[in-house]
Amino acid sequence: MEKNKKNLPLLFLVTLFFAISFDCSASFYVDSSYQGRYLGTAKFEKIMADLPYVYEEALAKIQQTLGIPPRRGMNLVVIFDDKLMHGGVRLRGKRQSIKTQEGVLVHYVFLDLEFLMKGEATLLEEMTHEMTHAVMADIMGLREYEALPMWIKEGTAVHAADQGLARIKALNQKGFSLERFGSEDENPKGNPISLEKYVENYLKIKYLVETYGDKLLHRFIKRIMASGNVQRELSICYSGLVEDTLNKYSSSFIRKTLQDNSRVISATENVHRGAKYFGDGEYISARIAFTEALNSPNLPVRERQKAAYLLAECYIQERNPHIALDLLANLTPDPSIVPYDRYVFLNAYSQYAVGMTIEAYHGFKAAFENSNDKAVKEGSLYYAVRILRELGNINEAYRVLGALERYFPGSSYIILAQSALR
């Protein structure tokens, strides 16, 4: 959720900014003052360990979905709260940006820990959502960004974070009236806004993607960040499209999408939908579709195998290897449905992620030896190098690195493996 700079006391944020130890080359910080109920728990420690990686993954997702290059120079501070409230409303996350007296723009990302600890939200989606606001504000300037309509600000954030389907499902459970869609922005200078508006804002962006493609959306966003003129850039990028016409066309798209998602969807169709989401890199939406499919007793065996395998991949993408490992342990793959070498690799990766280092090493070794797939083979060699380094077998690690360099001389894993041995 995007927040303007009136929501928290300015003095508190400025004080917090200068209280944090800054490295001149760094721009990403985590507030270390948290003393809440989850301090010291294994889940909290995992979140803290994952944050630097999730930060990079969020930047990558923003680039993939919106075409915005990574903005590593911006100052971003993550702050945790057991229960994040604003104006009497419970929030999963919010972003607040301020300029210090020295003119430094600082973005604060507040995250509700309870949602993360209970698995009701993922760290990646919440960071991606709030960082989308921060990245765009950092590029445009805070005042120019705040002046954008909510369908641009919240629509892009929900789209980048792959939260669209989840919010549509939540809206269906809550119940809605189509008459509430198409009205003016709710509280454009502050938050929270209603679930209906989140969905509407997202589906406007989704309409542009589905109708005109990703590349035009990327161009549109780039031009908006340069000029701040939504009307002009709509017309330039979309062949004379004006906002009134967009509202008319997107209104029909919104109604159709909501009606389609409110009907009963068969288990097999959910698998097909999940596979499309997965192919588009929308892993949260894919996870929702696959989970619903697997909960049906009527799902055919072939579709069940495919759904379980891809669902495990979704959980790996979400940094939940324990769940992935459980799914894979209960799956006896049919090689005609699930590539066995890929299954072995994913299982080894999940084992490595949960600390089963020796088992993972043997899994990666088996995957390398029994696969003809380039991605499986080079990935297996890379993780073997990391494991051998962790186990202190440096000579063998260098031998495996040599094999990686020899078999796959252009592999992006080579630099990572070399870094692991430094």
Looking at the DSSP bridge assignments, the partners of residue 205 are none
CATH architecture of 339-422: Alpha Horseshoe (1.25)
What confidence category does residue 13 fall into, taking pLDDT thresholds of 50, 70 and 90?
A: very low
* CA distances, 374 to each of 21, 236, 380 (Å): 43, 42, 10
SS3 28: strand
- What span, in angstroms and rounded, lies between the C-alpha atoms of 407 and 177? 59
Angle at 67 between CA 62 and CA 68, to 5 degrees: 65
Are the CB atoms for 78 and 111 separated by under 8 Å?
yes
Are the CB atoms for 284 and 162 separated by under 8 Å?
yes
**Taking residues 250-266, what's their average pLDDT?**
91
What pTM value is reported for the model? 0.83
DSSP state of 243: H
Angle at 208 between CA 207 and CA 212, to 5 degrees: 120
Q: What is the pLDDT of residue 76?
A: 97
Tens digit of each residue's pLDDT (9 = 90 or more) over 144-176: 999 999 999 999 999 999 999 999 999 988 887
Are the CB atoms for 50 and 123 separated by under 8 Å?
yes
- What span, in angstroms and rounded, lies between the C-alpha atoms of 205 and 193? 17
SS3 398: helix
Q: What is the pLDDT of residue 183?
A: 56
Q: What is the pLDDT of residue 12?
A: 40
Q: What is the pLDDT of residue 412?
A: 83
For the chain, the structural domain boundaries read: 1-147, 339-422
Tens digit of each residue's pLDDT (9 = 90 or more) over 348-358: 999 999 999 99
What confidence category does residue 15 fall into, taking pLDDT thresholds of 50, 70 and 90?
A: very low
Strands (E), 33-161: 75-81, 85-86, 89-90, 93-99, 105-112
Looking at the DSSP bridge assignments, the partners of residue 96 are 108
Helix axes 42-66, 123-140, angle to 10 degrees: 50
What are 123's two structure tokens?
A: 């760290």
